[in-house]
C-alpha cells in the first residue's frame, strides 16, 4: 500500500560546491538519519555513466522535490554567479525558476561563509532571500532544528488564529495607550528571552504609567456643571491603563520565581500622590480629583483579585499588611504612613451622571461605575471584583483601624451564593488560605472577631449598612467555614 502524502518524508535536493563536499555529506547524512528527510545528493544518487547535467536539471525541476537546499560557500557563490561548472549549470536552472516565480520558496539558501564585511556569501539571484545561517558551528547548532522544522512544515512558532478584536478596538470611546502597551510587550519579551535588563524595562514601564496618570490630572478649576461628566470620562480613560497594569501583574504573578512585590508597592506609593491636588494649585476642591481616586480604588481591587486568581497569597498578604508612605501634602501633617485602605475611593459627585432615571439614583453610584467598567475578561465583576472587595472588607475590619466598604456586594443579591474563595474555605485546606490572609486560625474565632469588630464600629445597627452587613455574612459563607 502506498504511503499517504501526509506520511511521506519531505524530498530535498542538495546543491553544493565540491570543495565543501565532506561537510555537505555530513549534513546530508544527518538530514536522512536524524531529520527524517529524503535527501537527494549526487554522492548517493548519481550513478556512474549518467549525465550530470540531465541529473541536475531533473532534480531541480522534479515536482516531487519539495526543496532545493543550496549550501552557499564563497566558491559556490563565485561559480554560480559566473555560471561555471556543475554549480553554474544548477544555478542557471535555479535562477530561471527563482526569477520566473517571485513567490517560489522551493529554493532555500543556506549561508555557510561570510565575506570580508561579515555578509553572507550568496549568489546574486537569491541574495535578497531569507536564508539559514550555517556560518559557524554555533550558528549551525542553533539553526539545525529550525531547518528540520521548516522542511517538515512544523515551525517552532505557530501563528495563532485571528481572534475577536479587543474591546478597545470595538469600543473606541476611551484613551489608548500604545506607548505603554509597547513597553509592556518589550518587557514581557525580555523576560521570556532571559535578558538581564528586565528590571530597567519594568521601571520604565511603571514610570510611563505614572506619566500617563499625571497627564489626566485636573490642573485648573473645572466647570461645576460638567464636573460629574468629566470625572466619569477621565476614569473611563484611565480604565484602559488599569487593564494594562493588571495584565502586567497577571503576567508577573504567573512566573514561578518572579519577585515583583517590592517594585509594585513602590509604584503604588508613587501614584498615591494623584489622590490629591497638584502642588501648583492654590485653590481646589477635593471632589475635582475623584476620577483618580476611583482609578486607584479600582486598580487596587483588581491587583488583589489577580493575586487571588494566581494563588499568590504571600504577595497578597504583603500588600494588605504594608504601611504605605503618604505623599507630601496628604492628610495630617504628622501622619506619614497608612494601611491599604488609603486606596479606597468613592465619589458623591458622579450621581449626576450615574443614575437609573431622572428621579432615581443608585444606592452606590461608585459601585455602579465600577460594574459598568469591569471589562477584564479574566477577572469579571462577578465573582472576582465583588469577592475581592469582600476580602478587603474582612481584612480592614479585622486588621486595620479603617474600613473598606464593599458596596459592590449590593449586586450579589439577597442570600447570595458564597464567593469561590470563601466557599472553598468550607474545607480545612481552603480555610487555611483565609487563615494565612486574615491571621485567624479557626472559623469560630473568625466569626467572633468579626462580630465584635462590627459591633465596635456600630455598623450592625446602622440603617445605611444593614443590607451590606447581611450580604457580607452570606457571601463570606460564615456559617459553613471549616465544617468539612
What's the pTM value of the predicted model, to 2 decimals? Answer: 0.65
The answer to whether residue 166 sits within a structural domain is no
Residues 379 and 256 reside in one and the same domain = yes
pLDDT of residue 102: 41
The answer to whether residue 313 sits within a structural domain is yes
Q: Identify which of 35, 34, 44 has the alpha carbon closest to the alpha carbon of residue 14.
A: 44
The answer to whether residue 427 sits within a structural domain is yes
Euclidean distance between CA atoms 163 and 169, whole angstroms: 12
Question: CB–CB of 481/422 below 8 Å?
Answer: yes
Of the three residues 388, 409, 430, the one that is the final residue of a domain is 409
Of the three residues 409, 425, 455, the one that is the final residue of a domain is 409
Residues 227 and 290 reside in one and the same domain = yes
Euclidean distance between CA atoms 405 and 373, whole angstroms: 19
The 10s digit of each residue's pLDDT in 215-225 is 999 999 998 88
With a cut of 80, say whether residue 211 has pLDDT above it: yes
Residues 364 and 440 reside in one and the same domain = no
Residue 110 belongs to domain with CATH number: 3.40.50.10140
CA atoms within 13 A on the CB side of 60: 23
Residues 403 and 456 reside in one and the same domain = no
The 10s digit of each residue's pLDDT in 188-202 is 999 988 888 899 999
Residues 197 and 279 reside in one and the same domain = yes
The 10s digit of each residue's pLDDT in 282-330 is 888 989 999 999 999 999 999 999 999 999 999 999 999 999 998 877 7
The answer to whether residue 4 sits within a structural domain is no
Residues 460 and 384 reside in one and the same domain = no
The answer to whether residue 447 sits within a structural domain is yes
The 10s digit of each residue's pLDDT in 381-437 is 999 999 999 999 999 999 988 899 999 988 887 667 899 999 999 999 999 999 999
With a cut of 80, say whether residue 133 has pLDDT above it: yes
How many domains is the chain built from?
Answer: 3
Average pLDDT over residues 84-105: 59
Residues 474 and 405 reside in one and the same domain = no
Residues 355 and 465 reside in one and the same domain = no
The answer to whether residue 157 sits within a structural domain is no
Sequence-separated (6 or more) residues with CB below 8 Å from residue 127: none
The answer to whether residue 165 sits within a structural domain is no
Residues 279 and 201 reside in one and the same domain = yes
Of the three residues 151, 180, 214, the one that is the final residue of a domain is 151
The answer to whether residue 5 sits within a structural domain is no
Residues 397 and 453 reside in one and the same domain = no
Averaged confidence pLDDT in the chain: 86
Residues 141 and 274 reside in one and the same domain = no
The 10s digit of each residue's pLDDT in 421-456 is 999 999 999 999 999 999 999 999 999 998 888 888
Which helix H or strand E contains 240, and what residues bound it?
Answer: helix 227-254
Gap between the terminal Cα atoms of the chain: 62
Domain that holds residue 336: 171-409
Residues 361 and 427 reside in one and the same domain = no
67-72/107-111 β-pairing: parallel
Amino acid at each position: 500500500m502506498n504511503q499517504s502524502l501526509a506520511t511521506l518524508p519531505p524530498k530535498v535536493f542538495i546543491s553544493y560546491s565540491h570543495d565543501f563536499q565532506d561537510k555537505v555529506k555530513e549534513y546530508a547524512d544527518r538530514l536522512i538519519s536524524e531529520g527524517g528527510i529524503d535527501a537527494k545528493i549526487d554522492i548517493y544518487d548519481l550513478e556512474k555513466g549518467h549525465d550530470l547535467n540531465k541529473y541536475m536539471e531533473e532534480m531541480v525541476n522534479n515536482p516531487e522535490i519539495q526543496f532545493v537546499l543550496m549550501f552557499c560557500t564563497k566558491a559556490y557563490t563565485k561559480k554560480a554567479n559566473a555560471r561555471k561548472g556543475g554549480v553554474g549549470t544548477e544555478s542557471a536552472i535555479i535562477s530561471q525558476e527563482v526569477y520566473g516565480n517571485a513567490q517560489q520558496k522551493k529554493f532555500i539558501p543556506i549561508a555557510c561563509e561570510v565575506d570580508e564585511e561579515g555578509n553572507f556569501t550568496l549568489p546574486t539571484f537569491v541574495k535578497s532571500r531569507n536564508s539559514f545561517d550555517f556560518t559557524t558551528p554555533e550558528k549551525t547548532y542553533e539553526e539545525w532544528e529550525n531547518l528540520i522544522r521548516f522542511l517538515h512544515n512544523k515551525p517552532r512558532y505557530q501563528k495563532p488564529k485571528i481572534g475577536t478584536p479587543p474591546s478597545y478596538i470595538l469600543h473606541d470611546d476611551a484613551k489608548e495607550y500604545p506607548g505603554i502597551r509597547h513597553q509592556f510587550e518589550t518587557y514581557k519579551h525580555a523576560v521570556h528571552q532571559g535578558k538581564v535588563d528586565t528590571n530597567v524595562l519594568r521601571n520604565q514601564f511603571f514610570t510611563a504609567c505614572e506619566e500617563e496618570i499625571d497627564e489626566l490630572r485636573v490642573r485648573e478649576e473645572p466647570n461645576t456643571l460638567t464636573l460629574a461628566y468629566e470625572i466619569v470620562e477621565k476614569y473611563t480613560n484611565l480604565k484602559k491603563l488599569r487593564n494594562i497594569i493588571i495584565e502586567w501583574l497577571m503576567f508577573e504573578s504567573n512566573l514561578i520565581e518572579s519577585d515583583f512585590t517590592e517594585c509594585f508597592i513602590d509604584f503604588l506609593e508613587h501614584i498615591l500622590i494623584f489622590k490629591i491636588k497638584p502642588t501648583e494649585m492654590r485653590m481646589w476642591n477635593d471632589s475635582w480629583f475623584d476620577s483618580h481616586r476611583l482609578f486607584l480604588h479600582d486598580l487596587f481591587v483588581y491587583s488583589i483579585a489577580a493575586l487571588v486568581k494566581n494563588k499568590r497569597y504571600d504577595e497578597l498578604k504583603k500588600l494588605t499588611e504594608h504601611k504605605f508612605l503618604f505623599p507630601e501634602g496628604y492628610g495630617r501633617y504628622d501622619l506619614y504612613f497608612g494601611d491599604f485602605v488609603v486606596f479606597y475611593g468613592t465619589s458623591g459627585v458622579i450621581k449626576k451622571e450615574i443614575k437609573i432615571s431622572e428621579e432615581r439614583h443608585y444606592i452606590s453610584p461608585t459601585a455602579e461605575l465600577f460594574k459598568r467598567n469591569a471589562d477584564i475578561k479574566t477577572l469579571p465583576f462577578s465573582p472576582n471584583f465583588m469577592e475581592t472587595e469582600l476580602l478587603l472588607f474582612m481584612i480592614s475590619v479585622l486588621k486595620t483601624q479603617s474600613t473598606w466598604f464593599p458596596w459592590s456586594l449590593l449586586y450579589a443579591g439577597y442570600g447570595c451564593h458564597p464567593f469561590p474563595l470563601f466557599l472553598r474555605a468550607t474545607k480545612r485546606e481552603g480555610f487555611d488560605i483565609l487563615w494565612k490572609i486574615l491571621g485567624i486560625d479557626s472559623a469560630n474565632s473568625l466569626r467572633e472577631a468579626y462580630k465584635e469588630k462590627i459591633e465596635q464600629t456600630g455598623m450592625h445597627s446602622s440603617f445605611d449598612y444593614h443590607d451590606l452587613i447581611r450580604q457580607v455574612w452570606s457571601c463570606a459563607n460564615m456559617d459553613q467555614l471549616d465544617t468539612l
